[in-house]
Chain A
Amino acid sequence: MQKPIYLPVVAGLALCATSTLAETPVLQVLTYDSFVSDWGPGPAIETAFEAECACDLEFVGSSDGAALLARIQLEGPRTEFDVVLGLDTNLTAAARETGLFAPHGVTADLDLPIAWDDADFLPFDWGYFAFVGNADAEAAVSLRNLAVSDLKIVIQDPRSSTPGLGLLMWVKEAHPDDAAAIWEALADNIVTVTPGWSEAYGMFLDGEADAVLSYTTSPAYHLIAEEDASKVAWPFEEGHYMQVEVAGKLASTDQPELADQFMAFIVSEGFQSIIPTTNWMYPAITPEAGLPDGFETLVTPAVSLLKSPEDAAAIRAEALEEWRNALSQ
């Protein structure tokens, strides 16, 4: 019924779009919002890849990691995207189940603290979740210690945010048998639960809490971009849960060679050297020149925690229920 109003406009736009793109092949990569912003890795990676591919690399940003998978599921096999960049291991089981992804076919010597052998999804960067607080203030030394302390934290909702889901997995992996008790003890430390990472991080910077759930690499941003050494990540005795961000090639791609070329480019120097100071995560393969100055000051956890994609998917509903019950009292 609404066709008479917008179809002519739509048709016009579609015509403009196709006529300009006819000459060079286009590789369409779906990724999350902050990846494509002016400070994210997107623009530099686009320049670097286009210098060697004789193609047009087009990043399309769509809020966060969970939104990427939802978007691909909405579009189904007819999707025009060739590569999805920015899922994490909490999502890869569901992504694999859709049957929309093809094996990446890349062999690389990855610098991950854990073994990686996933034929469908290729890591492009990774990091540790951590509570980030102020350098000169009291800090917690473990999840359990935080729970019994009077320290105030801001966290993200595991139902709407990837770091929030990461914390849920962290608690469950570090304390498999008394995750519910840890959450109950944490309840009085939590100032509030925000829908996304940026609201929580902004509240922490405004002094609303002693710490915020973020990454061990967050202090590197303040140190390198703002020359401010006042933020630190709290090292926790139980170890830190990891986030491994991956890319996947879509089986339906109409540019299979170009997509393969891009997947190989992901683990190359040209891509990896851009990651640390744009995405503020660890690169999947350490660049030849090493990590940027400032990264050596970061906390390196003794224990790296990560559930397999299948375990993470299997346990999510139960962990969510524990979280909800503990914080609803």
Chain B
Amino acid sequence: MAQRAITISPRWPGVLAGALVLVLTLGTLAAVALRAELTTGLGTADWAAIRFTVVQAFLSALISVVLAIPVARALARRRFWGRQALITLLGAPFLLPVIVAVVGLIAVFGRNGILNSTLIWAGIEPISIYGFHGVILAHVFFNLPLAVRFILQGWLAIPAERFRLAASLNASIGRVLEIPMLRAVVPSTFLVIFLICLTSFAVALTLGRGPKSTTVELAIYQALRFDFDLGRAALLACIQFGLCAVAAVIAWRVTGVDAMGAGFDRTVTRWDMRRPFWDYLAIVLAALFLLIPLAMVVLRGLPGLLIMPSSVWLAAVRSVLVAIGSATLCCTMAIALGLLGGRVVAVVGVLPLAASGLVVGTGAFLIVYPFVSPSDVALVITMLVNATLALPFVLRAIGPAIVAVHDDFGRLGVSVGLTRWRWLRIVVLPRIRRPLGFGAGLSAALSMGDLGVIALFAGKAEETLPLAMHRLMGAYRMDAAAGAAVLLLGVSLLIFWICDHWGRGDVDL
């Protein structure tokens, strides 16, 4: 796609969006590094942290993807009542702030959780969630929903014509359609999840039972907060980017290329529907694993909704506005970058995943500080950073769709002489509506739950919902905080559902 023959779209919006991403990822890193004085360099503990980080990220990504394949396949093949609602709900763990999700997991798998209570009741030795396996479990809980959605999209994107062709040739669908699709979709899904887990901090620490589970991100936190060693923080952030680069190159190498023709966007009618038992088993197991912890969060928080102070509602409104702004910006940037295409865009699309939230926040602070008081721009910066951090997911969703539109309709567009904006409006946007709705919902919900940047910038007047929740917890108000968590979960899911629903329109897919 780097050598695309027809360029209908304008280039400058994509270049601008790419530049913004570079400033907020590498630029903030440079800002931190430039302020650094002497540094102690890396010790043995840092190397142990790097080793732990890579191993847990690899296993988390591997298990998430492997488990997601049967679930996505089942969801792609089966039609049942409530399927669409289930798909939306299954996405919820990914949208939750870490601290809320961990509470839900502990309520199920903890020492006092329902699983162990059941085991003890049945006379079986209880299990412990704390340790290496707990970290992996939590990461799979977070990222399985993402993997399912990405792989499900891959399945749904196989044109109906190909299924018919395969059927008429009596060819194996698995071999000629599904395996090539998985080869195209799985490596990038794996990469995204690997990178998310690479920058994990609170999950690894809370469930990891102590210093054995130290991640690079925690080492960065320590360097920034307790040692004020900006040089070491910058060095560790560089290592994160380095790991990201290596992982990205490997993932791109093994990614398959789709070489078949286009279809007419018809709904797929599958006939290979024997043995529904295994499909439904996969769906039920995934639903139990993902939804019971969520249900626990809701159950615990409902009474708290009534005792929440009114400032929490105000914070919720503020968070929704930031989320809308951030999603709008994020989708605009993603479309601009998607139209630009090329390897540079692929790089820009994964960079934010490898960026340390703390380094981005600190760097952004250093960049704006000479010009303006940081708390005055807290919400604007939060919006920009959230948009950038969600960009990889949105680009991952709409990028392939834009490429497909170009490949399938580009020549037609040129031959009928469409102008750039008309091409975008009447051809591209309607055809990417579904992934765009999904992307908008995802970026808005991620922005709702974000706590990273705002905590560094905000004063009292800029409190967002996650920050309000955190402050409630810090003031012993655990019940009210649990109520705020339910509100956060509800609003995030609602925003996601509205966007995703708009994207699907009335199409039965």
Interface of A toward B, CB cutoff 8 Å: 1-2, 5-7, 9-10, 13-14, 17, 33-34, 36-40, 42, 58-63, 66-67, 69-71, 73-75, 80, 94, 152, 157, 159-160, 165, 187, 190-195, 197-199, 201-203, 205-209, 218, 221-222, 225, 280, 323-324, 327-328
Complex CA distance for A194 and B371, rounded to whole angstroms:
36
Q: Given the interface contacts A60-B460, A74-B369, A160-B225, does A6 sit within 8 Å of B384 by beta carbon?
A: yes
Nearest CB of A to B307, in Å: 11
Chain B residues near A1: list those with CB within 8 A.
Answer: 19-20, 22-23, 27
Query: Closest residue of chain B to A187, judged by CB?
Result: B210
Q: Given the interface contacts A2-B23, A37-B475, A63-B455, does A206 sit within 8 Å of B372 by beta carbon?
A: no
Is there contact, CB below 8 Å, between B210 and A190?
yes
Complex CA distance for A195 and B218, rounded to whole angstroms:
9
Select one of A61, A74, A94, A222 contacting B460, CB under 8 A.
A61
Select one of B20, B45, B381, B475 contacting A324, CB under 8 A.
B45
Label chain A's interface by main secondary structure.
helix
Q: Mark B431-475, 1 if CB is under 8 A from A, else 0.
A: 000000000000000000000000110111000000100111111
Is there contact, CB below 8 Å, between A201 and B478?
yes
Chain B residues near A222: list those with CB within 8 A.
Answer: 476
Label chain B's interface by main secondary structure.
helix
Chain A residues near B228: list those with CB within 8 A.
Answer: 69-70, 73, 94
Chain A residues near B476: list those with CB within 8 A.
Answer: 39, 201, 218, 221-222, 225, 280
Complex CA distance for A324 and B211, rounded to whole angstroms:
6
Q: Given the interface contacts A2-B24, A206-B110, does A159 sit within 8 Å of B218 by beta carbon?
A: yes
Q: Given the interface contacts A6-B384, A73-B228, A207-B111, does A198 sit within 8 Å of B474 by beta carbon?
A: yes
Chain A residues near B470: list those with CB within 8 A.
Answer: 33, 198
Complex CA distance for A191 and B20, rounded to whole angstroms:
43
Chain B residues near A75: list those with CB within 8 A.
Answer: 369
Chain A residues near B369: list those with CB within 8 A.
Answer: 74-75
Chain A residues near B210: list those with CB within 8 A.
Answer: 157, 187, 190, 192-193, 327-328
Is there contact, CB below 8 Å, between A14 and B460?
no
In the complex, 28 of the A-B residue pairs with CB atoms within 8 angstroms, ordered by the A residue number, are A2-B23, A5-B20, A6-B377, A13-B376, A13-B380, A34-B471, A34-B475, A36-B459, A38-B311, A38-B475, A39-B476, A66-B226, A67-B225, A70-B224, A70-B225, A152-B111, A157-B205, A159-B226, A191-B130, A192-B209, A193-B209, A194-B206, A195-B201, A198-B473, A199-B473, A202-B103, A208-B112, A327-B211
Complex CA distance for A193 and B205, rounded to whole angstroms:
7
Is there contact, CB below 8 Å, between B222 and A206?
no
Is there contact, CB below 8 Å, between B106 and A195?
no
Of the listed residues B365, B381, B477, B481, the one surrounded by the most CB atoms of chain A closer than 10 A to its CB is: B477
Query: Closest residue of chain A to B208, judged by CB?
Result: A192
Complex CA distance for A258 and B103, rounded to whole angstroms:
44
Select one of B209, B458, B478 contacting A202, CB under 8 A.
B478
Is there contact, CB below 8 Å, between B362 and A192?
no
Residue B221 interfacial (CB < 8 Å): yes
Q: Given the interface contacts A70-B224, A74-B369, A327-B212, does A195 sit within 8 Å of B19 by beta carbon?
A: no
Is there contact, CB below 8 Å, between A2 and B211?
no
B contact residues, range:
35 or more
Complex CA distance for A60 and B211, rounded to whole angstroms:
32
Is there contact, CB below 8 Å, between A328 and B474?
no
Q: Given the interface contacts A94-B228, A157-B205, does A2 sit within 8 Å of B459 by beta carbon?
A: no
Residue B309 interfacial (CB < 8 Å): yes
Residue B255 interfacial (CB < 8 Å): no
Nearest CB of B to A231, in Å: 11
Select one of B112, B372, B384, B458 contacting A207, CB under 8 A.
B112
Top-7 shortest CB links A-B: A207-B112, A34-B474, A198-B473, A37-B471, A159-B222, A193-B210, A39-B475
18 other A-B residue contacts (CB within 8 Å) besides A2-B384, A61-B460, A191-B111:
A1-B27, A2-B24, A14-B372, A17-B373, A33-B467, A36-B460, A38-B309, A59-B459, A67-B225, A74-B365, A160-B205, A187-B210, A192-B210, A193-B208, A195-B205, A208-B111, A327-B211, A328-B211
Nearest CB of A to B357, in Å: 13
Nearest CB of A to B133, in Å: 13
Q: Given the interface contacts A2-B23, A59-B460, A198-B473, does A159 sit within 8 Å of B221 by beta carbon?
A: yes
Nearest CB of B to A317, in Å: 9
Q: Mark B193-216, 1 if CB is under 8 A from A, else 0.
A: 000000001100111111110000
Complex CA distance for A56 and B362, rounded to whole angstroms:
28
Chain A residues near B112: list those with CB within 8 A.
Answer: 206-208
Q: Given the interface contacts A192-B207, A195-B206, A206-B110, does A10 sit within 8 Å of B20 by beta carbon?
A: no
Within 8 A of A (CB), among B75-125: 99, 102-103, 106-107, 110-112
Nearest CB of B to A46, in Å: 10
Chain B residues near A39: list those with CB within 8 A.
Answer: 475-477
Select one of A33, A191, A193 contacting B471, CB under 8 A.
A33
Complex CA distance for A61 and B473, rounded to whole angstroms:
15
Within 8 A of A (CB), among B376-395: 376-377, 380-381, 384
Chain B residues near A327: list those with CB within 8 A.
Answer: 210-212
Nearest CB of B to A66, in Å: 5
Complex CA distance for A9 and B365, rounded to whole angstroms:
16
Complex CA distance for A70 and B45, rounded to whole angstroms:
22
Chain A residues near B478: list those with CB within 8 A.
Answer: 198, 201-202, 205
Residue B509 interfacial (CB < 8 Å): no
